[in-house]
Chain A
Amino acid sequence: MEVQQEVARAPATQLSKTRGGNRWRRDLTGWGFMLPFMVVYALFLIWPVILMIKYSFTNKSLVGTGGSQFLGFENYARLFSDPDFWSSLWHTVWFTILSTPPLVILALIFAMLTNRVIRGQWIFRFSFFAPFVLPVSVVALIWWYMMYSPGFGLIDGTLGRIFGSSSSLASIPWLTSTKTAMISIVITTVWWTLGFNFVLYLAGLQEIPRELYDAAAVDGAGAWAQARWITIPLLKRTTLLVLALQILASLKIFDQIYIMTSGGPDFSTRPIIEYFYDQGFTSYRIGFASAVSVVYFLIILAASIAWFVLSRRREETA
């Protein structure tokens, strides 16, 4: 036993004698562990970021072998005077403004109702969260074809059964009218992604000690007063997190819109990501499209940093 231990210890003591060697060895091990990830990370994250910035100063095209020319800030100047850039940026912001409040408030209400259930809670958890695990195209196909179709879609069809099929409510062109297309996308998105916020809120609710409610009940506080004075204030941290994650997620809107309306009708729903996707892959203007992605990236970055700083400050004061 003792002998074995001696033997096992030998290399360690030897190394600590030559401190320099030990350090080098540690560096080498550390970088060895990092290497596989860092190679992938450098190739598929860092390098594309550099390429994107580089392309944004050129007139690179997706087709043709002709070398690209350096343009300086011309792409940027051009995009800031491009009404399509501004309108698609606005659609992304507008979608965020429309989708964030229902996704936060409904998730909170659903979670508060579900948290009060003791038996069979999992059924409700399942119902509200299930859509979130579906691929976007499944969600889009269901809503596009069978919910929003004028006349026989479930929404118009149900309205038709209530108000009569000749009623104008029975043929609302949900996705094909500039008035309703964005709202329709928002409704679908709320249905699809509410479950994520719901689960965050449910976890937050379960950390609130039951004693608080019992004490409040003894003092005669009803359900509403308990929600107003206990639940909502104690969920402040969760709400800030949900809000931040939701705003960042909504700013990345693309998939549902691309599938359901392709940005139409008449470009009225085209978000900023689709704008640079179109510019790059349909018009082959990689240089210009890269400039748009850079500007969009800076907006996201500003939002993330703002959140980071705010949450740090909160933690310090707390």
Chain B
Amino acid sequence: MEAEAPQRLTRIPKEQKGPSRRSRLGSTLNYIVLSILAAAWLTPLAWAVDTALKPESETTITPITWDSSNFNLGAFKEVIDAGNILRWYGNSALVSIVVTAGVVILASLAAYALSRIPFRGRTVLFWVILAGLMIPPQVLILPLFAEMQIFGFVNTYQGIILPQLASALAVFILKVFFDGIPHELEESALVDGASRLRIYWQIWMPLARPALAAVAIFTFVTSWNYFIWPLVVVTSTNMMTIPLGLQAVQSAFGVHYAQIMASAVLGGLPLLVAFIFFQRQIVEGIANTGLKG
């Protein structure tokens, strides 16, 4: 940052000279093009909100208009009063929180051992986990469902949650992170007679906080948005998560456009709000893990 400052300063006088007008024109043009693109990108969301606020009778008129004689929250009220969406929020929150906590704990324990404890068999285990990275979860839906039938977990929270805990990717990301921390820390703690569990908990977990946060955020978003597995394992409306429930929403309301859009807006809201708060972490998390992979 500090190194950049003088550079910016030296650029100012240059811009006042000859080519400055061209570059200023370029950057204005750049702003205009980008603003149009950004507006276009947000338009579908704006249209959804607009429709949700209209009275049902005005949602399908042509020629279309963004205006309405009576903007109101009636559609939202009806969707919430119908009850299902709150139940789905609850299911989604429960599932995503348990999955996130579970993945962070299980994966960090495994990643710590793979990175720091030279036990026999660790190379084999690492390759077994690495191989798991190449298995898309979608291909396993049939045998997993058969398994859930055997365990009696069809249409239960365990059934939705358990398969999501086997995240090879989380182990891999955390192991790479642990590998990058100097060995001396570990050794001096061992010499002091601390147990491995204490070292893991008191030294590594605090050190790994940024990596753990990235893994946690991703696991949460992925789990909240996970569609295909809940579609397979959930068989009743009251066990549905948000993505699954919304997909069936038109059968609940009939084709009432304002209410369907109100459900969509409500379904998208929690993560949009979370994204506004965690924008930096989410964006950096993608950039770091993605670029390393």
Contacts and interface: CB of A to CB of B under 8 A. Distances in A.
Pick the most buried of A30, A32, A116, A305: most chain B CB atoms within 10 A of its CB. Answer: A30
Interface string A193-206: 00010011011100
Contact of B286 (A127, A152, A199): A199
Contacts of B192: 8-9
24 contacts: A26-B119, A29-B113, A29-B119, A31-B119, A33-B113, A33-B117, A37-B106, A41-B128, A113-B34, A125-B283, A133-B275, A137-B244, A138-B267, A142-B45, A142-B48, A152-B59, A154-B64, A157-B62, A199-B290, A202-B283, A214-B11, A248-B136, A277-B232, A300-B134
Contact of A29 (B38, B125, B135, B196): B196
Main secondary structure on A side of the interface with B: helix
Contact of B144 (A48, A158, A241, A252): A48
B63 A134 contact: no
Interface in B152-170: 162-163, 165-166, 168
B286 A38 contact: no
B119 A27 contact: yes
A143 to B, nearest CB: 7
A142 B261 contact: yes
Contact of B249 (A114, A141, A211, A254): A141
B138 A254 contact: yes
B127 interface: no
Given A52-B140, A117-B31, A141-B260, A37 B117 contact: no
A145 B117 contact: no
Contacts of A32: 113
Given A110-B37, A141-B260, A199 B142 contact: no
Q: How large is the interface on A (under 10, 10 to 19, 20 to 34, 35 or more residues)?
A: 35 or more
B36 to A, nearest CB: 11
B173 interface: no
Contact of B166 (A10, A40, A280, A290): A40
A136 interface: yes
A191 B117 contact: no
A293 interface: yes
Interface stretch (B67-75, B76-84, B205-213, B219-227): B219-227
A191 B44 contact: yes
Contacts of A55: 142-143, 146
Interface in A264-289: 273, 276-277, 280-281, 286, 289
A238 interface: yes
B287 A142 contact: no
Interface in A6-46: 8-12, 23, 26-34, 36-38, 40-41, 43-46
Interface of B: 4, 7, 11, 19, 26-27, 30-31, 33-34, 37-39, 41-45, 47-48, 51, 59-64, 105-107, 109-110, 112-114, 117-122, 125, 128-129, 132-136, 138-147, 162-163, 165-166, 168, 171, 190-193, 196, 200, 221, 224-225, 227-228, 231-232, 242-247, 249-250, 255, 257, 260-261, 263-265, 267-268, 271-272, 274-276, 279, 282-284, 286-288, 290-291, 293
A135 interface: yes
B118 A191 contact: no
A19 to B, nearest CB: 13
Contacts of A28: 119
Interface string A285-317: 010011001101100110011000000000000
Contact of B132 (A41, A127, A152, A289): A41
Contacts of B45: 130-131, 142
A209 to B, nearest CB: 10
A43 B146 CA distance: 12
A172 to B, nearest CB: 14
A33 B107 CA distance: 10
A204 to B, nearest CB: 7
Given A33-B196, A137-B247, 13 more contacts: A8-B192, A12-B190, A30-B118, A32-B113, A133-B221, A135-B246, A135-B268, A157-B62, A160-B62, A200-B287, A281-B145, A286-B142, A293-B140
A130 B63 contact: no
B242 to A, nearest CB: 6
A57 interface: no
Interface string A201-238: 01110000011001001000001000000000000001
B121 to A, nearest CB: 7
Contacts of A174: none
B232 A114 contact: no
A182 B196 CA distance: 54
A122 B279 contact: yes
Nearest to A296: B139
Pick the most buried of A29, A60, A146: most chain B CB atoms within 10 A of its CB. Answer: A146
A199 B243 contact: no
A282 B102 CA distance: 33
Q: Which 6 A-B pairs have the closest CB atoms?
A: A30-B119, A157-B64, A203-B287, A33-B113, A127-B38, A51-B143
A281 B26 CA distance: 56
B264 A138 contact: yes
Contact of A44 (B47, B144, B243): B144
B162 A43 contact: yes
Interface in A73-124: 110, 113-114, 116-117, 122-124
Nearest to B138: A273
A131 B37 CA distance: 14
A23 to B, nearest CB: 8
B132 to A, nearest CB: 5
A231 B12 CA distance: 23
